[in-house]
């Protein structure tokens, strides 16, 4: 049997599946094709792992014990850390309306059980390669002297690299991508932290404060709009 082409180096798959037999089958199949697999048996755990581990692709079941898989898909697409990760829904539900709903929520593919092994692996490899190609062409965000290199996960003012944590980077990215718009704290929480219930308006303020301390260019670029939220203005290029 000819094996479909997979990425040259090991890629990480997040498998969100509550059925032990199905999870074991998929895990074994993915290991055969040299993928690294991390697993969650529920939606909430899957969302946490997606944020923390940033896998290369997510395989998602619909029927989960704590959250509907469609809700998980929707949340993944609304969360900054996971919005670009390819999602393949693998489910026994084969009705057209289920497939359409999955695609509307942002799934990249929908595979019905029973699984055709070579087809699934080919789809996984293709989605990862396409995501990497898209990411490689869209990894740089620059506004004046301020630059984010998403590929390297670094932030620069001109050529000076700034120390930055993951959530700070995603917060800065969200502000820069919405340059000139007043963003409420609720909008920022929804788009950067997703469904994390342990955060509030003060979380946003604390992270903005931390960003401003990084460099005066960032401090000058992030404007507080009283009663509204925050607005990003392109900083002047430093000489």
- Does the global pTM surpass 0.75? no
What is the number of other CB atoms lying within 10 angstroms of the CB of residue 181? 12
pLDDT higher at 3 or 79: 79
Kind plus residue range of the DSSP H or E element containing 14:
strand 12-16
Is 140-232 in CATH node 3.30.300.180? no
- Asked whether the CA dihedral 228, 230, 234, 235 is positive or negative, the reply is positive
pLDDT at 9: 55
Other Cβ atoms less than 10 A from the Cβ of 9: the count is 6
| Location of each CATH 1.10.10.10 domain in the chain | 140-232
Distance CA 128, CA 131 (A): 5
For the domain covering 12-137, report its CATH number: 3.40.50.2300
Helix residue spans in 79-229 (DSSP H): 96-104, 117-137, 166-177, 185-188, 201-214, 216-221
Q: Is the dihedral of CA 219, 224, 229, 231 positive or negative?
A: negative
pLDDT tens, position by position, 114-160 = 999 999 999 999 999 888 777 665 678 889 999 998 877 899 999 99
* Positions of CATH 3.40.50.2300 in the chain: 12-137
Query: What rounded mean pLDDT belongs to the chain?
Result: 89
Query: What tens digit of pLDDT does each residue of 162-202 get?
Result: 999 989 999 999 999 999 999 999 999 988 988 777 889 99
Question: Which among 167, 191, 165 has a CA at the least distance from the CA of 178?
Answer: 191
Is residue 2's pLDDT more than 60? no
């Amino acid at each position: 049997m000819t094996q479909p082409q997979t990425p040259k180096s090991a890629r990480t798959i997040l498998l969100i599946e509550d059925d032990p037999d199905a999870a074991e089958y998929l895990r074994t199949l993915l290991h055969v094709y040299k993928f690294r697999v991390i697993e969650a048996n529920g939606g909430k755990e899957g969302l946490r792992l997606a944020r923390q581990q940033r896998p290369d692709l997510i395989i998602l079941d619909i029927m989960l014990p704590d959250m509907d898989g469609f809700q998980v898909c929707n949340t993944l697409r609304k969360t900054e850390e996971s919005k670009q990760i390819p999602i393949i829904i693998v489910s026994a539900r084969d009705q057209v309306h289920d497939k359409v709903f999955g695609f509307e929520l942002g799934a990249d593919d929908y595979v019905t059980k029973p699984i055709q092994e070579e087809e699934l692996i080919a789809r996984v490899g293709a989605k990862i390669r396409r995501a990497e190609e898209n990411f490689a062409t869209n990894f740089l965000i620059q506004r004046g002297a301020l630059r984010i290199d998403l590929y390297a996960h670094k932030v620069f003012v001109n050529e000076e690299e700034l120390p930055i944590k993951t959530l700070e980077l995603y917060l800065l990215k969200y502000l820069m991508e919405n340059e000139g718009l007043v963003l409420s704290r609720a909008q920022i929480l929804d788009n950067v932290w997703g469904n994390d219930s342990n955060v509030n308006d003060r979380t946003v303020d604390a992270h903005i404060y931390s960003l401003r301390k990084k460099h005066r260019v960032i401090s000058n670029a992030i404007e507080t709009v009283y009663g509204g939220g925050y607005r990003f203005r392109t900083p002047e290029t430093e000489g």
